[in-house]
């Protein structure tokens, strides 16, 4: 089977059942030669192509299914992911990238760093304690959640202090490695490294904010040694340490802590290959030197998509006996890789680090992209040809690895070149009206014609607001009834007349409630909006939408980011009808609600054929046109 046919037909989850109880068979590795290609995946989405994990989790939390049923869904998902990568021909397949909630929380469990309020008394951490940390329970709140670097994924923040008694309390990494091995697959267990774990933490309640979290490195390194020892005993030949914090501008103490931690771990690395993976940006030059100077480390992974200067660092020097895991396939967007351009980069890298030392990889975990393009049966055919979700990116990685050793799939590369040419020349991408509007922009267009004081005076004269006016942020709860009406309207089960009346009735309730509560400036509650970004994107040109392009935000919460594929414009008014309808129901001022352009950009899959940070350039139309809505 060619890579092209694999790309269009491979759907490893087709037999995935929601609560299957039949254990998967032992998987036989393919006998054809592409298995030997040097290809690697940093990580993979864990939610399932149709959010199977989400539904299993929520069913378990609601008491509708058992822990064993949840575990079976998780095992089915892991098997399907591993099977897909093996069938494609990926050599270095990750394990322990699956999580029931969050991979940082998994590390907290591994280290036994459970805050005292959850009443954990030692032993292997189970679902009760794990999900209490993630979601809270009837008596105690959840741990804090915050963004994972500059992505839209959120992680559970560890709470640490000098009195934390670390212990090896979750053997998940070893158990999942053994699970894969029992299926006939030798995987690469993935661990969050000690430096990143500590830098992603915060002082626990009651701990002085000046407490040095890095001082705890001496307490957690022994546990990492235990994990490595168990993985080696189980037969692991490679272990991946994720250290994304290395792309930050580290202080001298932080960088020294990193060096000391891995020097202390060095003895435990004997007999196993260690990969230290970085992603999301360039590694600063001093960090690059410290990283590549480590002993007993077999390979280093770099993001060559967002890391624009790393190639120059590699040219300045790379250890001759180490492997370079080259992240050339974008793990954070959904555009098809430019295979020809990536192959050129890989060939340059071969000239720098030597043949047989380059491993083709993703720029970061594929956690941040949608799962499988195969499930997008309603997406426009032309736009679909420009895309690659996680399943397709796995195929791209292996195609590049094959091409690098002289086994180039000409048909696959030709198809890829055709899709890129189609995208470059498509009139759907470039809107001449938008282009002219951008060129015509003047500096004065970005500034108000009147002063703040003049606007405030005019506003007060018209609205006559008190010194401290009261209002609310915008949206009211989306009830089950509202969601049902929207679904029925979308499915054409009710008329537009019935839909509009249902929304008006809800707006009327919201307006009356705010008046009764004494608010000065009202909102209409936004009952007509499905999502604060998708609602506007559906009314703008240049946007496309998926049916199953879900991406995990946290836990069971998933989002379906719009795809900005072309110049953005506003064909018609978007909010005037609903705002004016709401205003007609009250004498008090009614706010118009718009999602801002920065939020729309950050919550969408954006174009990769232009620089999003220079909106005044004539070709930088998405940002510019969004700011003119």
Determine the average pLDDT of the residues in 128-148. Answer: 97
Q: Pick left, alpha or beta for residue 588 (phi over 0 → left; psi -120 to 50 → alpha; otherwise beta).
A: beta
CA dist., res. 284 & res. 281, Å (int): 9
Hey, is 475 helix, strand or coil?
strand
- pLDDT bin (cut points 50, 70, 90) of residue 613 is low
**Cβ-contact 76, 16 below 8 angstroms:** yes
Q: Outline where 183-330 has alpha helix (H).
A: 194-199, 217-234, 252-265, 285-292, 310-316
**Average pLDDT across the chain, whole number:** 91
Handedness of CA 404, 405, 406, 411 (dihedral sign): negative
Helices (H) and strands (E) in the chain, counts: 23, 15
Q: Which phi and psi (to 5°) does residue 328 adopt? A: -100, -10
Q: Residues 192-213: pLDDT tens digits?
A: 999 999 999 999 999 999 999 9
What does the pLDDT read at residue 206? 94
Residues forming CATH 3.20.20.210 domain(s) in the chain: 97-297, 432-603
What does the pLDDT read at residue 532? 86
Determine the average pLDDT of the residues in 94-123. Answer: 97
| CA nearest neighbour of 519 among 477, 571, 465, 599 | 465
Q: Which CATH class is domain 97-297?
A: alpha beta
CA dihedral 424→426→428→434, nearest 10 degrees, is 60
Determine the average pLDDT of the residues in 37-59. Answer: 96
Q: Please name the residues in contact with 294: beta carbons below 8 A apart, sequence gap of 6 or more.
A: 259, 262, 263, 266, 276
Length of the chain: 629
CA dist., res. 617 & res. 266, Å (int): 50
CA dist., res. 349 & res. 331, Å (int): 20
**CA–CA distances in Å: residue 270 to residues 74, 274, 414:** 32, 9, 44
What does the pLDDT read at residue 447? 86
pLDDT at 494 over 90: yes
Q: Residues 162-189: pLDDT tens digits?
A: 999 999 999 999 999 999 999 999 999 9
Determine the average pLDDT of the residues in 110-122. Answer: 97
Percent of the chain with pLDDT over 90: 83
What does the pLDDT read at residue 457? 93
What does the pLDDT read at residue 561? 94
Determine the average pLDDT of the residues in 6-32. Answer: 48
Q: Please name the residues in contact with 476: beta carbons below 8 A apart, sequence gap of 6 or more.
A: 510, 523, 525, 526, 527
Beta-ladder partners of 558: 552
Structure tokens given for 483: 């969601």
CB atoms within 10 A of CB 408: 16
Q: Residues 510-568: pLDDT tens digits?
A: 999 999 999 999 999 999 998 888 899 999 999 999 999 999 999 999 999 999 999 99
- pLDDT bin (cut points 50, 70, 90) of residue 620 is very low
- pLDDT bin (cut points 50, 70, 90) of residue 34 is very low
What does the pLDDT read at residue 443? 86
What does the pLDDT read at residue 305? 96
Q: Outline where 35-121 has alpha helix (H).
A: 52-61, 67-88, 103-110
Q: Residues 242-275: pLDDT tens digits?
A: 999 999 999 999 999 999 999 999 999 999 999 9
Determine the average pLDDT of the residues in 214-225. Answer: 98
**Cβ-contact 213, 160 below 8 angstroms:** yes
- pTM to 2 decimals? 0.90
**Cβ-contact 314, 324 below 8 angstroms:** yes
Percent of the chain with pLDDT over 70: 91
| CA nearest neighbour of 97 among 111, 78, 80 | 78
pLDDT at 440 over 60: yes
Determine the average pLDDT of the residues in 334-352. Answer: 96
What does the pLDDT read at residue 171? 98
More confident residue, 21 or 342: 342
| CA nearest neighbour of 70 among 96, 101, 108 | 101
**Cβ-contact 188, 235 below 8 angstroms:** no
What does the pLDDT read at residue 614? 45
pLDDT at 469 over 70: yes
CA dist., res. 363 & res. 558, Å (int): 22
What does the pLDDT read at residue 507? 97
Q: Please name the residues in contact with 415: beta carbons below 8 A apart, sequence gap of 6 or more.
A: 4
What does the pLDDT read at residue 577? 95
What does the pLDDT read at residue 15? 43
Hey, is 575 helix, strand or coil?
coil
Handedness of CA 341, 345, 351, 356 (dihedral sign): negative
To 10 degrees, what angle do helices 480-490 and 496-517 make?
A: 160
What does the pLDDT read at residue 623? 38
Check residue 23 and report its DSSP letter.
Answer: P
Q: Please name the residues in contact with 285: beta carbons below 8 A apart, sequence gap of 6 or more.
A: 313
List Cβ<8 Å contacts ≥24 apart for 120-124: 122/167, 122/169, 123/169, 124/169, 124/170, 124/171
Q: Please name the residues in contact with 376: beta carbons below 8 A apart, sequence gap of 6 or more.
A: 384, 546, 547, 548, 549
- pLDDT bin (cut points 50, 70, 90) of residue 14 is very low
Domain 432-603 CATH (choose: 3.30.390.10, 3.20.20.210, 3.40.50.300, 3.40.50.720):
3.20.20.210
């Amino acid at each position: 089977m060619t890579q092209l046919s694999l790309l269009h037909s491979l759907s490893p989850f087709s037999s995935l059942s929601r609560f299957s109880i039949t254990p998967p068979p032992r998987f036989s590795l393919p006998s054809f030669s592409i298995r030997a290609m040097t290809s690697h995946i940093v990580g993979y989405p864990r939610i399932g192509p149709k959010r199977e994990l989400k539904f299993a989790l929520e069913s378990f939390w609601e008491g509708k299914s058992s822990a064993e049923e949840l575990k079976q869904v998780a095992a089915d998902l892991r098997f399907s992911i591993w099977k897909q990568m093996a069938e494609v021909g990926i050599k270095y397949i990750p394990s322990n990238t699956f999580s029931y909630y969050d991979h940082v929380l998994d590390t907290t469990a591994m280290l036994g760093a459970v805050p005292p309020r959850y009443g954990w008394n030692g032993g292997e951490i189970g679902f009760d304690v794990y999900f209490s940390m993630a979601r809270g329970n009837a008596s105690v709140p959840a741990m804090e959640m915050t963004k994972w670097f500059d992505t839209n994924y959120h992680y559970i923040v560890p709470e640490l202090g000098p009195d934390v008694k670390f212990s090896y309390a979750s053997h998940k990494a070893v158990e999942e490695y053994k699970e894969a091995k029992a299926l006939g697959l030798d995987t690469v267990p993935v661990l969050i490294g000690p430096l990143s774990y500590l830098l992603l933490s915060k002082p626990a309640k009651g701990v002085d904010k000046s407490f040095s979290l890095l001082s705890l490195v001496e307490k957690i390194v022994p546990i990492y040694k235990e994990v490595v020892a168990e993985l080696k005993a189980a037969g692991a030949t490679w272990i991946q340490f994720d250290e994304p914090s290395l792309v930050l501008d580290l202080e001298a103490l932080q960088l020294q802590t990193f060096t000391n931690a891995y020097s202390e771990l060095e003895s435990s690395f004997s007999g196993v290959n260690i990969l230290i993976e970085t992603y999301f940006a360039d590694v600063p030059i001093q960090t690059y030197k410290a990283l590549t100077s480590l002993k007993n480390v077999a390979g280093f992974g770099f993001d060559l998509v967002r890391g624009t200067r790393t190639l120059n660092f590699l040219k300045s020097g790379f250890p001759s006996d180490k492997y370079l895991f080259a992240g050339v396939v974008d793990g954070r967007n959904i555009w098809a890789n430019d295979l020809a351009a990536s192959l050129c980069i890989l060939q340059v890298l071969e000239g720098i680090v030597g043949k047989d030392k380059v491993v083709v990889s993703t720029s970061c975990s594929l956690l941040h992209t949608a799962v499988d393009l195969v499930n997008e049966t309603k997406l426009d055919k032309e736009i679909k040809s420009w895309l690659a979700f996680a399943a397709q990116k796995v195929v791209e990685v292996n195609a590049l690895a094959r091409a690098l050793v002289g086994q180039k799939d000409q048909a696959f590369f030709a198809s890829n070149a055709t899709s890129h040419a189609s995208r470059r020349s498509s009139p759907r991408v470039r809107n001449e009206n938008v282009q002219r509007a951008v060129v015509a922009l003047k500096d004065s267009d970005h500034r108000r014609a009147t002063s703040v004081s003049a606007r405030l005076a005019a506003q007060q004269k018209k609205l006559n607001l008190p010194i401290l006016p009261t209002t609310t942020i915008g949206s009211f709860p989306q009830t089950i009834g509202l969601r049902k009406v929207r679904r029925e309207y979308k499915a054409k089960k009710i008329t537009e007349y019935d839909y509009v009346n249902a929304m008006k009735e809800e707006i009327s309730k919201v307006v009356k409630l705010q008046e009764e509560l004494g608010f000065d400036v009202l909102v209409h509650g936004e009952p007509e909006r499905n999502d604060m970004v998708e609602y506007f994107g559906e009314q703008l040109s240049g946007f496309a939408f998926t049916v199953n392009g879900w991406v995990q935000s946290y836990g069971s919460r998933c989002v379906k980011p719009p795809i900005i594929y072309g110049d953005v414009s506003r064909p018609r008014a978007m909010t005037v009808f609903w705002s004016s309808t709401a205003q007609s129901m009250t004498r008090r001022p009614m706010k118009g609600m718009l999602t801002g352009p920065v939020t729309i950009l950050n919550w969408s899959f954006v174009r990769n054929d232009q620089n999003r940070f220079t909106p005044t350039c004539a070709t930088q139309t998405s940002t510019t046109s969004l700011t003119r809505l």
